[in-house]
């Protein structure tokens, strides 16, 4: 027993040795919650308070469950194989297999993963002649899963309009089809188990009597149905229920978009009349400045259960903050800092770059690719490998070469346009018969299939004609619209990220033509004659000419061809091989549960982090703050924060204010790597230069010079103006000159606006 408990701190020891009562353990980041859970289980078994078969432990990932079982095997001389330790879905599957008749399921019922579920729904829609454009399969799937997560069958869902009534009807039809086929989806596992235990009193009482101790990990991530499932098993409301031991951190609840309800922790404390609330605040991961930043930030959230992380590791290095003039400069800074870390002996795998939105990764990936630094995109795909981006690339490939059969097959029916497998088979037969490409074979296909295929060809030809004189970024924008990819993803629950990634291709194209020396207005197409005229061809004798391998891309390839080649190379090269050390890239959501010696948190700007959508949602900003808290607490030794004054997103240059989160961090823990300007145009502590591009010189003299030289047609930085729609504002930056001059203006309640000075009707104030 002494050996089992000797490595625990006082709070951990108190949690492990609690009596058999309900308990809530607030486990801060890096506080050893897995150790507490596994040691609690071992202690209960060792002290003979429960047998290995008499307790239930619930985790959120199979990885966590396996880690607990491995640790238990090392702690106790027992066979852990039969223990009820697993995920919600895994435990429900086990229970339903045991009681399949009572659950009205065949013993051999099959479990549908997300792709399988989507296929079932597509078959359902097709079999019932339901328009899948009006009711996209993914929309139907999200509706069904959301209802199940709330514990609602179709007859219990309130429908407020005709569209929702149809979705409810489809839910009912889907349930009936799954029952006929003997299959269940993930959400069904939990709902079916809950319904079984709710209506079958003898079975419920059997499991309540068996599991006298129920332990739950990551309690803050439970949804309503999971919490009700736990209440049922713990015998809530009965005099002889089991002890529920819940471990979680309300400050790390970041999955509201998946249905997680952080309020379950407070509800548990209230409904179970929890007398044992223990806070694990000793952090074994991070240095003091990092923890001080996390503590001060999260203190701004309301309705917290409350805790304060501490460490014995000392203050460590300050949190480094970098203010970049652009997202490109931010990416380059990350490269230089990473190189310095590696030169100091840091492992590449201990360097993590975190971002709020997947769309941010493109610029950083490009910089890493150019610098030859191997990297790995954790929990996701690299930018040019993402499905939606590959769809857009396929359309662009058809603009460059309509006879590319792979590109043709990828998008001929995506988004769906009524071209099925049979139509493709007819087309492939015609192409093989005449020895031509699929595109060229379309006229040889008759009937309805031929008409549908001809419609696709007409779309491609129309866009090719429309874009032949356009520069590459504009061409990408036109293809995005004409392909209807944007409209398609608008119908998906998680479509916003995909749309961001698609629109980011305009930015990628803009950056590419700039870096490779193509003229900003150069047409996307460049034919062979133009190539020869450019001087890129060299003579080999006998009248034979070839392109010069040493000539720049702008001389030998059209902007479109060069860009497509670049995308293919960047998608395939520099990806870390198995076992190879690589810099880690990931969204903040993906980073939860991980830790690294060195962490970069990028894009800390208003509208990006916190995300602009958060201001429209109840509790949205607090969820974003919890997300920032999670990001900060991933770092062990060094933490870097960065933001850019300008960022190109969706093909547009955005002028940014730094994130409000900077105002919530302790100044004494921060080390600013770029000068902070103290000029105060707006009557508050944020200066105009927090929002406008500026030189690295931050002295008062540099500010004065910038104001003196930056002027449009009679306008000056720092000048107060009035606009008919936006009211009073202050000019914070001016770019361009003459008829092309634009001003960035802070209009207070309307925020930052960029106006064309030749068009905007501005009035001066104070003259």
3-state helix, strand, coil in the chain (%, to 5): 50, 15, 35
Q: How far apart are CA 726 and CA 432, in angstroms?
A: 63
Q: How far apart are CA 114 and CA 489, in angstroms?
A: 17
**Three-state SS at 301:** coil
Start-end of H helices in 657-758? 700-709
Start-end of H helices in 494-646? 495-515, 528-533, 553-556, 559-572, 588-591, 620-632
**Three-state SS at 366:** helix
30 is in an annotated binding site: yes
212 is catalytic: no
Options 217, 492, 570, 606, the catalytic residue:
217
Q: What is the DSSP letter of 712?
A: S
Q: Confirm if 471 and 524 have CB atoms less than 8 A apart.
A: yes
Residue 552 corresponds to which tokens in the numbers above? 């720049």
Options 40, 212, 386, 634, the catalytic residue:
634
Prior bond of 610 cis (ω within 30°): yes
Q: How far apart are CA 176 and CA 536, in angstroms?
A: 66
Tokens 């493709």 belong to which residue? 424
**Three-state SS at 331:** helix
Start-end of H helices in 101-200? 114-127, 137-149, 162-181, 186-199
Pairing between strand 351-355 and 596-601?
parallel
**Cβ neighbours, 10 Å, residue 521:** 10
- 641 bridge partner residues: 321, 601
Start-end of H helices in 237-344? 263-271, 288-298, 327-343
What is the secondary structure of 683-705 as a DSSP string?
A: SSSS-GGGTS---S--SHHHHHH
Picking from 714, 662, 665, the residue whose alpha carbon sits closest to that of residue 691 is 662
418 is in an annotated binding site: no
Strand order from edge to edge, sheet including 720-723: 752-756, 742-746, 727-735, 720-723, 762-764
Residue 269 corresponds to which tokens in the numbers above? 């404390």
279 is catalytic: no
Residue 303 corresponds to which tokens in the numbers above? 């309705």
338 is in an annotated binding site: no
33 is in an annotated binding site: yes
Q: How far apart are CA 364 and CA 373, in angstroms?
A: 11
Options 208, 252, 584, 633, the catalytic residue:
252
What are the distances in angstroms from CA 226 to CA 214, 468, 511, 682? 13, 56, 47, 49
634 is catalytic: yes
Residues 746, 749, 750: CA angle, nearest 5 degrees: 65
Picking from 260, 296, 7, the residue whose alpha carbon sits closest to that of residue 146 is 260
32 is in an annotated binding site: yes
Strand order from edge to edge, sheet including 213-216: 84-87, 55-59, 213-216, 243-248, 23-27, 276-280
Residues 44, 48, 49: CA angle, nearest 5 degrees: 60
440 is in an annotated binding site: no
252 is catalytic: yes
Pairing between strand 351-355 and 652-655?
unpaired
Which residues neighbour 36 within 8 Å (Cβ) at sequence distance 6 or greater? Answer: 8, 12, 15, 16, 25, 27, 247, 280
Q: How far apart are CA 133 and CA 417, in angstroms?
A: 9
Q: How far apart are CA 112 and CA 761, in angstroms?
A: 60
Tokens 């749309």 belong to which residue? 499
Options 11, 12, 33, 592, the catalytic residue:
33
218 is catalytic: yes
Options 17, 34, 332, 381, the catalytic residue:
34
Q: Confirm if 395 and 409 have CB atoms less than 8 A apart.
A: no
Tokens 């202050």 belong to which residue? 730
Residues 701, 705, 707: CA angle, nearest 5 degrees: 115
166 is catalytic: no
Picking from 25, 16, 67, the residue whose alpha carbon sits closest to that of residue 593 is 67
Options 185, 218, 622, 690, the catalytic residue:
218
| Residue list, annotated binding site for ATP | 27-34
Q: Which residues are catalytic, by number?
A: 33-34, 217-218, 252, 634
Binding-site residue ranges: 27-34
């Amino acid at each position: 027993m002494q050996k089992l408990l000797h490595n625990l701190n006082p709070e951990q020891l108190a949690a492990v040795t609690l009596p058999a009562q309900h308990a809530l353990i607030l486990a801060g980041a890096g506080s050893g919650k897995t150790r507490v859970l596994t040691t609690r289980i071992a202690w209960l078994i060792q002290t003979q308070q429960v047998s290995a078969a008499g307790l239930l432990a619930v985790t959120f990932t199979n990885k966590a469950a396996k880690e607990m079982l491995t640790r238990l095997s090392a702690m106790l001389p027992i066979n852990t194989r039969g223990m009820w330790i697993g995920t919600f879905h895994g435990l429900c599957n086990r229970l339903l297999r045991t009681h399949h008749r009572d659950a009205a399921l065949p013993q051999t019922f099959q479990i549908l993963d997300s792709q399988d579920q989507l296929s079932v729904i597509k078959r359902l829609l097709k079999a019932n002649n339901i328009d899948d454009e009006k009711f996209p399969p993914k929309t139907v799937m999200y509706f069904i899963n959301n209802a199940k997560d709330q514990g609602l069958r179709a007859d219990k869902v309130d429908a407020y309009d005709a569209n929702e009534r149809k979705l409810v009807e489809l839910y009912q039809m889907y349930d009936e089809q799954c029952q006929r086929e003997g299959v269940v989806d993930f959400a069904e596992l939990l709902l079916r188990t809950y319904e079984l235990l709710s209506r079958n009193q003898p079975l419920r009482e059997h499991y309540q009597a068996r599991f006298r101790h129920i332990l739950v990990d990551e309690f803050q991530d439970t949804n309503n149905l999971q919490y009700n499932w736990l209440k049922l098993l713990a015998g809530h409301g009965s005099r002889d229920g089991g002890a529920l031991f819940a471990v979680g951190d309300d400050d790390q609840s970041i999955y509201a978009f998946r249905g997680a309800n952080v309020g379950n922790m407070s509800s548990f404390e209230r409904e179970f009349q929890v007398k044992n609330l223990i806070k694990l605040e000793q952090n074994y991961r991070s240095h003091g400045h990092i923890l001080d930043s996390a503590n001060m930030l999260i203190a701004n959230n309301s309705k917290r259960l409350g805790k304060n992380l501490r460490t014995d590791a000392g203050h460590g290095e300050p949190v480094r903050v970098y203010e970049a003039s652009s997202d490109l400069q931010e990416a380059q800074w990350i490269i230089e800092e990473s190189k310095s870390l590696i030169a100091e002996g840091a492992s590449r795998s201990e360097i993590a770059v975190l971002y709020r939105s997947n769309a941010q990764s493109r610029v950083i990936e490009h910089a890493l690719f150019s610098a030859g630094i191997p990297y790995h995109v954790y929990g996701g795909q690299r930018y040019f490998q993402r499905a939606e981006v590959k769809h857009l690339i396929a359309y662009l490939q058809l603009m460059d070469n309509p006879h590319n059969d792979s590109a043709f097959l990828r998008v001929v029916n995506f988004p769906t346009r009524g071209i099925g497998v049979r139509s493709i088979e007819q087309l492939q037969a015609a192409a093989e018969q005449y020895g031509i490409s699929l595109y060229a074979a379309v006229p040889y296909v008759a009937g309805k299939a031929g008409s549908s295929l001809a419609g696709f060809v007409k779309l491609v030809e129309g866009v090719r004609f429309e874009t032949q004189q356009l520069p590459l970024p504009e061409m990408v924008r036109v293809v995005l619209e004409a392909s209807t990819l944007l409209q398609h993803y608008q119908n998906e629950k998680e479509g916003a990220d995909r749309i961001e990634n698609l629109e980011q291709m305009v930015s990628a194209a803009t950056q590419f033509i700039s870096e490779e020396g193509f003229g900003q207005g150069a047409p996307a197409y460049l034919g062979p004659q133009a190539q020869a005229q450019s001087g890129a061809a060299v003579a080999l004798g006998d009248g034979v000419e070839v392109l010069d391998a040493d000539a720049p891309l702008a001389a030998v390839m059209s902007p479109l061809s060069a860009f497509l080649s670049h995308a293919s190379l960047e998608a395939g090269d520099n990806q870390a091989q198995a076992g190879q050390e690589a810099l880690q890239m990931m969204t903040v959501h993906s980073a939860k549960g991980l830790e690294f010696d060195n962490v970069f948190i990028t894009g800390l700007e208003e509208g990006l982090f916190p995300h602009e959508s958060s201001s429209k949602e109840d509790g949205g900003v607090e969820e974003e703050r919890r997300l920032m808290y999670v990001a900060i607490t991933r770092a062990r030794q060094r933490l870097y924060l960065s933001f850019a004054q300008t960022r190109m997103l969706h093909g547009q240059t955005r002028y940014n204010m730094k994130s409000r989160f900077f105002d919530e961090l302790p100044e004494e823990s921060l080390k600013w790597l770029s000068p902070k300007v103290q000029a105060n145009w707006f009557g508050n502590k944020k200066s105009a230069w927090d929002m406008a591009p500026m030189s690295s010189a931050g002295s008062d003299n540099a500010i004065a010079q910038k104001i003196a030289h930056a002027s449009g047609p009679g306008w000056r930085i720092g000048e107060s103006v009035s606009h008919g729609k936006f009211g009073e504002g202050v000019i914070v930056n001016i770019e361009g000159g003459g008829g092309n001059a634009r001003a960035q203006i802070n209009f207070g309640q309307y925020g930052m606006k960029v106006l064309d000075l030749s068009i905007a009707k501005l009035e001066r104030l104070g003259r």
